[in-house]
């Protein structure tokens, strides 16, 4: 279990209790944060895009080539930041306790 702070598109903040063993995308989608996760975590939709708090960028496993390619693909539609990640590629475990993410604009 990890508590993840989520900043919504309207600037609202909420702390989500997220169970270990899944992907952050699932918890964000189920909490109606605006994350859709249309492709189910297959890295082909980009609807799970979040901005990770800068203090967390180096604490998460690095992006894979496929994740980077998907982010690049949606970069024509939404603003990318150095902190952009696909939340379907963030595994939930105790190590992400206190992670803060902002929901990116819809693609």
Q: Which of 2, 26, 46, 92 binds ligand FES (CB under 6 A)?
A: 46
Closer CB to ligand FES, residue 2 or residue 35? 35
Token pair recorded at residue 3: 């508590």
Is residue 88 involved in binding ligand FES (CB under 6 A)?
yes
- 101 in helix, strand or coil? strand
CA angle centred on 90, ends 96 and 27, rounded to 5°:
85
Beta bridge partners of 17: 3
At its nearest, how many Å lie between ligand FES and the CB of residue 79?
Answer: 17
Name the nearest CA neighbour of 54 among 102, 8, 16.
Answer: 102
Number of residues that bind ligand FES (CB under 6 A): 14
Q: Which of 50, 52, 70, 71 binds ligand FES (CB under 6 A)?
A: 70
């Amino acid at each position: 279990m990890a508590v993840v702070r989520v900043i919504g598109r309207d600037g609202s903040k909420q702390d989500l209790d997220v169970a270990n063993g899944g992907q952050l995308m699932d918890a964000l989608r189920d909490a109606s944060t605006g994350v859709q996760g249309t492709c189910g975590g297959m890295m082909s939709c980009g609807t799970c895009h979040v901005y990770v708090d800068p203090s967390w960028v180096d604490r998460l496993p690095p992006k894979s080539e496929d994740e980077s390619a998907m982010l690049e693909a949606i970069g024509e539609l939404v603003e990318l930041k150095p902190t952009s990640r696909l939340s379907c590629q963030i595994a939930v475990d105790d190590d992400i306790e206190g992670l803060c993410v902002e929901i990116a604009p819809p693609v």
